[in-house]
Amino acid sequence: MGVQPGGAVHTVRTTRGSRPVRALRSPASMAFGMFGVMMETVIAVFLGGGLGAVARHFVNTGVMQIWHRDFPLGILVINILGSFLMGVLISTFAHVWDTPQNVRAFLTVGILGGFTTFSSFSLDTIMLFERGQYIQAAIYLFASVGISLLALILGMWLVRMGVKL
């Protein structure tokens, strides 16, 4: 339909049918075009990541103050909660909310990415399974966990051996 003053009009398909929606454009996106839109997303991810990391710190600290055991329950809670929230957000974006890309990026890549990268890993794994890419999903699952653990062990070993990185 073209660009209108105050935003572009496009049709959004939801589970409730199609409806025209006016996409609001910020002054940055109007002034700088695609670069402005990209910068809005970068800033959204940056701010969300900071908020997510602070939330991770407080949730982890709070759980560990209650738990008082030698098991990383705080991080386990964060990973499970982050994965649950990722599922809620992705399904909500697909079926309920019509949200701009920078808001999606703020909430998922930013806040949940700062809160836990496990939520992204969980989403990617399930998306491969849902697409019927079972072998790729299994490879991704075992490689992400297995190779990440081996990389951690290698990094620790190199430092212990006195290798300057």
- How confident is the model at residue 30, as a pLDDT? 58
> What confidence category does residue 22 fall into, taking pLDDT thresholds of 50, 70 and 90?
very low
Least confident piece of the model among 10-14, 143-147, 160-164:
10-14
pLDDT at 157 over 70: yes
pLDDT at 21 over 70: no
Extract the tokens encoding 98. Answer: 């019509």
| d(C-alpha 4, C-alpha 21), whole Å | 12
- How confident is the model at residue 32, as a pLDDT? 57
Least confident piece of the model among 7-16, 51-60, 103-112:
7-16
Where do the structural domains in the chain lie, given as residue ranges? 3-131
Average pLDDT over every residue of 75-80: 90
At how many degrees (to 10) do helices 73-95 and 118-130 cross?
50
Higher pLDDT residue, 120 or 141? 141
Q: What is the DSSP string of 66-99?
A: HH-SSS-HHHHHHHHHHHHHHHHHHHHHHHT---
